[in-house]
């Protein structure tokens, strides 16, 4: 299923020494037959995705396993399996990694023309399982014949927000990276794809159980050097709303379905 798995040990130094935080790009990640099957499945269920819209994010997502097709479920289960996680531990030097069966914030992500994800560092503790510290991301892309001028490249930024590296989200490319407080990343430019083409990926997150209650730490969006005062104000306002939602979600007062219903009413999606 995975082309690169036997070579993970040889890539540890690349992962550890990449700037600006540990990360690695793995091309031709899946056997091509599997990649094609999963791509077809996630394309065919795009209409079942839910909108995740606010000032800092404009994308669609599916993290409900009931909506996923067989090959996609099998792939996710393998990437969350003990065998694969052991390989991730060998690659990264991290120990005690555990998967998230809830796919909290993960699953399949779709970004359509005009969509974007502002630069951010990820939430540091699991919303529901408060002992879990988020530690590693795996992003797997399914975008054939991707063009640079579509503006969908993922950007990884330095802690001082003065430098970046970019990677195009091309078909069957995986990006594995450490998720610390300064692991700034995103694809902040609005997509300019034709209306029938959208940016597709599977996002999986891995945690370490700290055996103690962790402070709630929601996704932290950061302005780019070119962003003006008004943009920064709206980003902060959106951040405050996200903090309130995350608090209510951890207390299990609201959930993603509540958010989705509100957004669908507002956007009529």
> Residue 117: which H helix or E strand, with range?
strand 116-121
CA–CA distance from 126 to each of 210, 229, 254, 258, 267 (Å)? 11, 31, 15, 19, 28
Question: At which residue do the structure tokens 């993970």 appear?
Answer: 8
Please give the pLDDT value at position 68: 95
> What's the mean per-residue pLDDT of the chain?
90
Please give the pLDDT value at position 269: 53
Cα 224 from Cα 147, distance rounded (Å): 24
The predicted-structure confidence for 115-172, as pLDDT tens digits, reads as follows 999 999 988 888 888 899 999 999 999 999 999 999 999 999 999 999 999 999 999 9
Domains of the chain with CATH codes: 5-267 (2.60.120.620)
Alpha helix positions (H), the chain: 12-17, 32-44, 70-79, 82-92, 229-250, 256-267
Is the per-residue pLDDT at 51 higher than 60?
A: yes
Name 199's bridge partners.
Answer: 111
């Amino acid at each position: 299923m995975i082309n690169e798995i036997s070579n993970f040990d040889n890539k540890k130094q690349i992962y550890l020494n990449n700037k600006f935080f540990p990360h690695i790009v793995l091309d031709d990640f899946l056997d091509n037959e599997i990649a094609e099957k999963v791509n077809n499945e996630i394309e065919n269920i795009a209409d079942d995705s839910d909108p995740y819209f606010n000032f800092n994010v404009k994308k669609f997502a599916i993290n409900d396993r009931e909506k996923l097709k067989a090959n996609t479920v099998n792939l996710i289960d393998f990437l969350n399996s003990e065998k694969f996680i052991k390989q991730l531990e060998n690659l990264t030097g991290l120990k005690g990694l555990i998967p998230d069966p809830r796919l909290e914030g993960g699953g399949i992500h779709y970004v359509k023309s005009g969509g974007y994800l502002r630069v951010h560092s990820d939430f540091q503790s699991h919303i529901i399982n408060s002992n879990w510290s988020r530690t590693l991301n795996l992003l797997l892309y399914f975008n054939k014949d991707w063009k640079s001028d579509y503006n969908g490249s993922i950007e990884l930024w330095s802690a001082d927000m003065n430098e970046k590296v970019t990677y195009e989200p091309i078909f069957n490319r995986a990006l594995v990276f450490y998720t610390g407080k300064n692991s700034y990343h995103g694809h902040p430019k609005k997509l300019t794809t034709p209306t029938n083409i959208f940016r597709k990926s599977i996002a999986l997150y891995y945690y370490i159980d700290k055996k103690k209650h962790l402070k709630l730490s929601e996704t932290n969006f950061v302005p780019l050097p070119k962003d003006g005062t008004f943009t920064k104000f709206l980003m902060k306002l959106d951040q405050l709303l996200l903090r309130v939602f995350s608090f209510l979600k951890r207390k299990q007062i609201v959930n993603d379905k509540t958010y989705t219903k509100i957004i669908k009413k507002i956007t009529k999606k």
